[in-house]
Amino acid sequence: MRNNRATQLDSAFLTEHKLSTAPPPPDALFWKMWNACEGIANKALNTQFIQEIKSGTLNPVHYGGFNISDAYFCFKGAQDYLNAMDRASNPTLKAFLHKKYNSYQKYNDTFPKTWRIKDAEGIVPSEVCKLYSKFESMVASHQEPIYALIVMIPCEYLWAWLAEQLSPSSSKNLYAPWITANNDPSGAYAMGNFLAEYQKENPIDEKLAMQLYTQAITYEYQNFNTSLNS
């Protein structure tokens, strides 16, 4: 349902870049940012959209509308991560951003058959989705490329965390595949571990990182929270 949207990290990639998919160290920036924003994550968990995913009662029309609005974000986002990749100098960071680009492209290629849309031009996204897309573009084009990775993490980890909270799901639940497909934090953990290694030799403004991360996870929550609006 949505697993192609997450960054796909195969074993060859992990080995080449010496990346671990174990949870990052407790004092890592990954957890500092998550812990500071866990209240927002819980608000996302308690939205009607997510709770109806859990119960299997979500109106399929609302699910479809959410996915089509999300398609706008992903069509726009692919180029954003390609732009950030072109500006990155760290080989592993470049590889991460390229993986994100490829994941978006792979996901975007499913839309013509699944939802009968081929690009962003005919989509009427939610206002939150448009703002989130502009925010991601701004970070990818104006901040140092490491911050493009940082704003990627809220989506990568939040959806996995939400799926974990909703598990196990009954096989009779229409949205069980959504829960199963997203219940994998390994990619987010690899990013967190990379950040920890990156910081040993490169400066990261943790205050800026926190601001960008908080804004990104807030948009994630707002996307869920407004998804049932007519």
CATH fold of 3-225, please? Heme Oxygenase; Chain A (1.20.910)
The set of residues, in sequence order, having a beta carbon less than 8 Å from that of 197 and lying 6+ positions away, is: none
For the chain, 230 residues long, the average pLDDT of each consecutive 10-residue run is 64 91 97 98 98 96 92 89 94 92 87 89 92 96 96 95 94 93 94 95 96 98 90
Q: How many CB atoms within 10 Å of residue 20?
A: 15
DSSP state of 175: T
Gap between the Cα atoms of 114 and 147, Å rounded = 32
The per-residue pLDDT for 106 is 86
3-state secondary structure 58-101: CCHHHHHHHHHHHHHHHHHHHHHHHHHHHHCCCHHHHHHHHHHH
Q: Where are the domains of the chain?
A: 3-225
Q: C-alpha angle 95/74/204, rounded to 5°?
A: 45
**CA–CA separation, 110 vs 96, rounded Å?**
22
**How many angstroms separate the Cα of 136 from the Cα of each of 6, 79, 151, 186?**
16, 11, 7, 22
CA distance 221 to 216: 9
pLDDT of residue 77: 87
pLDDT on residue 2: 43
Residue 185: cis peptide before it, omega within 30 degrees of 0 = no
pLDDT value of residue 5: 67
Q: Which two tokens stand for residue 173?
A: 């639940």
pTM: 0.93
- Judge whether 228 and 60 are in contact, CB under 8 Å: no
Name the nearest CA neighbour of 27 among 203, 206, 175.
206
The span from the first CA to the last CA of the chain, in angstroms, equals 23
